[in-house]
Amino acid sequence: MRAPAVLLAALITLAACGGGDTASRLPDVRLPTLGGPLGPSLATCATAKCLTVIVAPWCSVCHQVTPDIVRLRRFLDKTGVSSRVVVGLAEIEPIKEFAALYGSDALLDDQGAIKARGVPQFIVTNRAGDVIKRVGGFPRGASSSADLAAYFDLP
């Protein structure tokens, strides 16, 4: 009887210490864009795969990698892969200021629609919003946008 109790305790500990939101789908919410209109639902994607990047204005790493994220989004756009940036985890004014670095299509999440325990966070989903891959932090091994796309298993 002791072994199952130890195993159960270990599983509970692992679940409590896990980093990031582990939902299997992105929420079916539409966030406002910096440009004004509501963006499409996060639970859908216009292409076979979609990259959603979550950043926050107080995150120094997010600021450091913003140029890389912008270049990656341009690369993905040219290769036919949808991407979006969600700026959140703060009050609306700092969110708007930081979102301006990503463009008018940046999504503003001052209400916490996306639950992220760490930023930056990269989430690859399929057309129906099912999470295929979730990466916390920025992968430093990639030297180009093509390398980053390959790291996230994006064509």
pLDDT exceeds cutoff 70 at 31: yes
**What is the distance between the alpha carbons of residues 38 and 75, in angstroms, rounded to a whole number?**
24
pLDDT exceeds cutoff 70 at 97: yes
pLDDT of residue 6: 35
pLDDT exceeds cutoff 60 at 12: no
**What is the distance between the alpha carbons of residues 56 and 87, in angstroms, rounded to a whole number?**
5
pLDDT exceeds cutoff 50 at 144: yes
| 3-class DSSP string for the chain | CHHHHHHHHHHHHHHHHCCCCCCCECCCCCCEECCCCECCCCCCCCCCEEEEEEECCCCHHHHHHHHHHHHHHHHHHHCCCEEEEEEECCCHHHHHHHHCCCCCCCEEECCCCCCCCCCCEEEEEECCCEEEEEEECCCCCCCCHHHHHHHCCCC
pLDDT of residue 57: 98
**Percentage of the chain with pLDDT > 90?**
78
Mean pLDDT (the chain, rounded): 86
Show the domains of the chain with their CATH numbers. 21-151 (3.40.30.10)
- 47-62 as b/e, with b when 16 or more CB fall inside 10 Å? bebbbbbbbbbebeeb
pLDDT of residue 115: 86
pLDDT exceeds cutoff 60 at 93: yes
Mean pLDDT confidence for 110-119: 90
Mean pLDDT confidence for 108-114: 94
pTM, full prediction:
0.84
pLDDT exceeds cutoff 80 at 10: no
Residue range 35-91, pLDDT digits in tens? 999 999 999 999 999 999 999 999 999 999 999 999 999 999 999 999 999 999 999
pLDDT exceeds cutoff 50 at 3: no
pLDDT of residue 155: 79
pLDDT of residue 16: 29
Nearest in space to 83 (alpha carbons), one of 55, 116, 110, 112: 55
